[in-house]
């Protein structure tokens, strides 16, 4: 999944895909501060990059900004949102309400970015039917029914590794096309499903490696 084609057939590098939400984050912050125009150099610096890289990244979306004037903050934010499919609220469910699942339910950052957590699921009878703030924890056996009822589009898997693949298979059979997986196994999914993995130990191992390169 290193390069993906846009609908216009242009290949977009993964590094660009990763930077686009970062630009969006800072554009939103600028807009909140009442700033309506930002020079490309300033936006690039906020995002930890440089002007030429920013201009190259944005070239995948079309042409923006006027040389010497900068980008219209609201317009660019809108275009990035639309390009990434972020211009409408998306419904999310969390499968596995252990400590990590609970932390994610309580994480305010998702709602700020337009991801509404609509349901939690667990197989522990002590959890089922409980509420976390306004969120109901459902029986994992009711996945299909609730996904349909609540029009859930994205699922986050926070179950133990041993259960993750069978949960993923079940989600896919319920029509889910996008899975964020925190369990430390690589999910096997068909070509018409996207699964991204966050393995917290692997992140530490990568960090550890970069540290050895400093020495």
Apex 184 CA angle, 129 and 194, nearest 5: 80
- Taking CB under 8 A as the binding criterion, the range among 56-64, 80-88, 144-152, 163-171 that sits at the site for a copy of itself is 80-88
Compute the least distance from the CB of residue 128 to a copy of itself, in Å: 21
* Centroid of chain to Cα 10: 22
Pick the closer one to a copy of itself by CB: 91 or 123: 91
C-alpha to C-alpha distance for 26 and 62, rounded to whole angstroms? 20
Contact pattern from residue 101 through residue 130 relative to a copy of itself, giving x for each residue in contact according to CB under 8 A and a dash for the rest:
-xxx-xx-xx-xx-x---------------
CB burial class (10 A; 0-12, 13-18, 19+) of residue 150?
middle
Rg (CA), the chain: 20
Closest CA to 80 of 30, 19, 34: 19
The residues that touch a copy of itself, with contacts defined as CB under 8 A, are 1-2, 4-7, 15, 17-18, 20-22, 24-25, 46-48, 83-86, 90, 92, 99-100, 102-104, 106-107, 109-110, 112-113, 115, 153-154, 177-180, 184, 186, 188, 192-194, 196, 198-214
């Amino acid at each position: 999944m290193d390069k993906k084609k846009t609908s216009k057939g242009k290949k977009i590098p993964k590094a660009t895909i990763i930077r686009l939400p970062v630009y969006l984050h800072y554009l939103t912050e600028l807009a909140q501060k009442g700033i309506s125009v930002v020079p490309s150099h300033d936006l690039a610096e906020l995002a930890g990059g440089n002007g030429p890289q920013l201009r190259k990244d944005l070239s995948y979306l079309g042409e923006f900004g006027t040389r010497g004037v900068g980008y219209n903050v609201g317009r660019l934010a809108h275009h990035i949102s639309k390009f990434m499919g972020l211009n409408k609220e998306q419904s999310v469910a969390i499968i596995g309400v252990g400590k990590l699942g609970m932390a994610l339910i309580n994480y305010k950052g998702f709602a700020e970015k337009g991801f509404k957590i609509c349901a939690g699921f667990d197989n522990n009878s002590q959890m089922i039917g409980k509420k976390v703030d306004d969120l109901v924890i459902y029986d994992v056996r009711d996945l299909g029914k609730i996904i349909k009822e609540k029009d859930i589009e994205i699922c986050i898997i926070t179950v133990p590794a041993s259960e993750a693949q069978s949960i993923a298979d079940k989600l896919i059979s319920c029509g889910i096309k996008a899975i964020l997986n925190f369990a430390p196994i690589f999910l096997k999914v068909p070509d018409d499903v996207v699964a991204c993995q966050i393995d917290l130990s692997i992140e530490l191992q990568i960090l550890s490696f970069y540290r050895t390169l400093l020495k």
